[in-house]
Amino acid sequence: MEKNNENMTQTGTKEKSFAKIVKIAWALVLIGIILVIAGAVWVTIIPDSNDNSGVVCGAGISLIFVGALFLNGDRIRKKNPQRTRELEILNADERNLQIMYKAKAKAFDIIAISTSLAVLLFLYSWLIYAEKLLLWVAVVLSVFSTLMMLGFLLLQRKYQKEM
């Protein structure tokens, strides 16, 4: 009896969290619509300053699509409760959790290294075109980002050995 009652409590909590997600999704759609309208009005009122209105419209459309994706996911979840239950069981499996954690760690390493490389490329290109007064700032930032990238590589090796 207690286990069934506990299951009901967990289901109720999950439903509340899904209800919050739906509210947030509708808020995203609404804010996106407002931004698209604001961007369109901005272009018509001030035709010369249309550079920022495109950003506002793009952000609005992005918010609309993100909200629509959340709403579609909720619709699919409600439409197929058996599949939702299977996914919850799979997500609670310890083997799957270990695989997921290893994949996240590897993805973080890849993102950290690629970000460091992008910063290095930016800073080295800035070194080429930098003014002489700003040259020392570019050198310091380049050295710092190089050390940061090496640190990420060392962390990756450490975690790779632990896995």
pLDDT value at 101 more than 60: yes
Which H helix or E strand runs over 34? helix 2-45
Q: Is 70 exceeded by the pLDDT of residue 117?
A: yes
What would the pLDDT profile of 4-41 be if each residue is shown by its tens digit?
Answer: 444 445 555 666 777 888 899 999 999 999 999 988 88
Separation between Cα atoms, residue 159 and residue 163, nearest integer Å: 6
E strand spans, the chain: none
- Cβ-based neighbours of 14, under 8 Å, separated by 6 or more: none
Confidence of residue 129 (pLDDT cuts 50, 70, 90): low
Residue 6 CB coordination number (10 Å)? 10
What is d(CA 46, CA 49) in angstroms, rounded to the nearest whole number? Answer: 6
pLDDT digits (tens, 9 = 90+) for 42-95: 888 877 765 677 788 888 999 999 999 989 988 888 888 888 788 778 777 788
Q: Which amino acid is at 109?
A: D
Q: Is the pTM of this model over 0.75?
A: no
CA atoms of 128 and 132, how far apart (whole Å) = 10
